[in-house]
Structure 1
Amino acid sequence: MPPPAPQADSPHEDPTQDELVRSKPESRRQARRRKQALALRDGSASQTRLIWRKYRTNPLGLIGLGVLIVLYVIAAAPGFFSPHNATTSSPDYAGAPPQQLRFSPEHGLHVLGLTSETSLETLAREYTPDPEHVVELRLFAKGDPYKILGLIPADRHLIGPSDPNEPVYLLGADQAGVDMLSKINFGAQISLSIGLIGVLLSALLGIIVGGISGYFGGVADSLIQRVIEFIMSIPTLPLWLGLAAAIPPRWGIVQTYLVLTCILSLVGWTGMARVIRGRVLQARDEDFVTAARLDGAGHGRIILRHLMPSFMSHIIASLSLAVPSMILAETALSFLGMGLRAPAVSWGVLLRDAQQLQVVVNAPWMLLPGLAVVLTVVAFNFVGDALRDAADPYGK
Structure 2
Amino acid sequence: MSLEPDKAFMSAADLTADLPPEEETQFVASAGASAAVAGQWTLMLWKFRRQKVAMASLFIVLLLYLVAILAEFLAPYGVDMTRPQYTYAPPQGISLFVTGADGGWQFLPHASGYKIVVDQEAMRRTFEVDPDKIIPIGLFVTGETYKLWGLFESNLHFIGPTNPADTVYFLGSDRIGRDVLSRLIYGTRISMSIGLVGVVISLALGVFLGGISGYYGGALDTAIQRLVEVVSAMPTIPLWMGLAAAIPLAWPPALVYFTVTAIVSLLGWTSLAREVRGRFFALREEDFVTAARLDGSSEMRLIFRHMLPSITSHLLAMVTLAVPAMIIAETSLSFLGIGLKPPVVSWGVLLQDAQNLRAIANAPWLLFWPALAVMVSVLSFNFLGDGLRDAADPYDN
CA contact (8 A) 1:90 1:167 kept: no
CA distance in 2, matches of 1:305, 1:149: 37
Q: Tell me by how many angstroms 1:31 deviates.
A: 7.4
**Count of residue pairs brought into register by the alignment:** 368
Secondary structure of 2:128's counterpart equals: strand
Secondary structure of 1:158's counterpart equals: strand
* Alignment deviations for residues 134-188 of structure 1 (CA, whole Å, 9 cap, x no partner): 2111210011122333433332111111111221100110111111111100000
Q: Which residue of 1 aligns with 2:182?
A: 182
Secondary structure of 1:136's counterpart equals: strand
* Alignment deviations for residues 299-353 of structure 1 (CA, whole Å, 9 cap, x no partner): 1221111111111111111111111110000001001111111111000000011
CA distance in 2, matches of 1:257, 1:274: 28
User: Is residue 84 of structure 1 aligned with residue 77 of structure 2?
Assistant: yes
Provide structure 2 residue ranges, at least 5 long, that are not aligned to the other structure: 1-21, 99-104
Q: Tell me by how many angstroms 1:29 deviates.
A: 8.2
User: Is residue 377 of structure 1 aligned with residue 396 of structure 2?
Assistant: no
* Alignment deviations for residues 243-265 of structure 1 (CA, whole Å, 9 cap, x no partner): 11111111111000111111111
Q: TM-score, normalised by structure 1?
A: 0.89
Secondary structure of 1:127's counterpart equals: strand
Q: Which residue of 2 aligns with 1:316?
A: 316
Q: Tell me by how many angstroms 1:39 deviates.
A: 5.8
Q: Tell me by how many angstroms 1:357 deviates.
A: 2.2
Paired AA for residue 373 in structure 2: A
Q: Tell me by how many angstroms 1:390 deviates.
A: 0.6
CA contact (8 A) 1:40 1:50 kept: no
CA distance in 2, matches of 1:293, 1:134: 76
Q: Which residue of 1 aligns with 2:121?
A: 121
State how 1:207-222 maps to structure 2 within 5 Å: 207-222=207-222
Paired AA for residue 341 in structure 1: K
Q: Which residue of 2 aligns with 1:366?
A: 366
Paired AA for residue 216 in structure 2: F
User: Is residue 100 of structure 1 aligned with residue 93 of structure 2?
Assistant: yes
Q: Which residue of 2 aligns with 1:277?
A: 277
The 10-residue stretch of structure 1 (221-230 or 116-125) with the greater mean CA deviation from structure 2 = 116-125
Paired AA for residue 28 in structure 2: R
Q: Tell me by how many angstroms 1:100 deviates.
A: 1.4
* Alignment deviations for residues 339-394 of structure 1 (CA, whole Å, 9 cap, x no partner): 11111100000001111222111001101101100110010110011111111011
Secondary structure of 1:183's counterpart equals: helix
Alpha-carbon distance change, 174 to 107 in structure 1, aligned in 2, over 3 angstroms: farther
Alignment counterpart, residue 66 of structure 1, candidates 25, 38, 59: 59
CA contact (8 A) 2:213 2:220 kept: yes
Paired AA for residue 30 in structure 2: Q
Q: Which residue of 1 aligns with 2:393?
A: 392
- Taking only the aligned residue pairs, the percentage that are identical comes to 46
Q: Tell me by how many angstroms 1:40 deviates.
A: 4.1
CA contact (8 A) 1:323 1:380 kept: yes
Q: CA RMSD in A?
A: 1.7
Q: Tell me by how many angstroms 1:71 deviates.
A: 0.8
CA distance in 2, matches of 1:122, 1:107: 40
CA distance in 2, matches of 1:30, 1:314: 26
Alpha-carbon distance change, 390 to 117 in structure 1, aligned in 2, over 3 angstroms: same
State how 1:1-396 maps to structure 2 within 5 Å: 32-38=26-32, 40-41=34-35, 43-103=36-96, 104=98, 108-367=108-367, 368-396=369-397
Q: Tell me by how many angstroms 1:37 deviates.
A: 4.1
* Alignment deviations for residues 1-42 of structure 1 (CA, whole Å, 9 cap, x no partner): xxxxxxxxxxxxxxxxxxxxxxxxxxx98875333343643x
Q: Tell me by how many angstroms 1:82 deviates.
A: 1.8
CA distance in 2, matches of 1:382, 1:74: 20
CA contact (8 A) 1:169 1:179 kept: yes
CA contact (8 A) 1:143 1:164 kept: yes
Paired AA for residue 89 in structure 1: T
Q: Tell me by how many angstroms 1:129 deviates.
A: 2.1
CA contact (8 A) 1:75 1:192 kept: yes
CA contact (8 A) 1:137 1:160 kept: yes
Q: Which residue of 2 aligns with 1:25?
A: none
Q: Tell me by how many angstroms 1:49 deviates.
A: 1.6
CA distance in 1, matches of 2:246, 2:309: 38
Q: TM-score, normalised by structure 2?
A: 0.89
CA contact (8 A) 1:247 1:256 kept: yes
CA contact (8 A) 1:215 1:284 kept: yes
CA contact (8 A) 2:31 2:38 kept: no
CA contact (8 A) 2:31 2:37 kept: no
CA distance in 1, matches of 2:23, 2:173: 51
CA contact (8 A) 1:140 1:159 kept: yes
Paired AA for residue 61 in structure 2: L
CA distance in 1, matches of 2:24, 2:380: 33
The 10-residue stretch of structure 1 (182-191 or 231-240) with the greater mean CA deviation from structure 2 = 231-240
Secondary structure of 1:79's counterpart equals: helix
CA distance in 2, matches of 1:29, 1:263: 45
CA distance in 2, matches of 1:351, 1:233: 29
CA distance in 1, matches of 2:149, 2:33: 41
Q: Tell me by how many angstroms 1:130 deviates.
A: 2.4
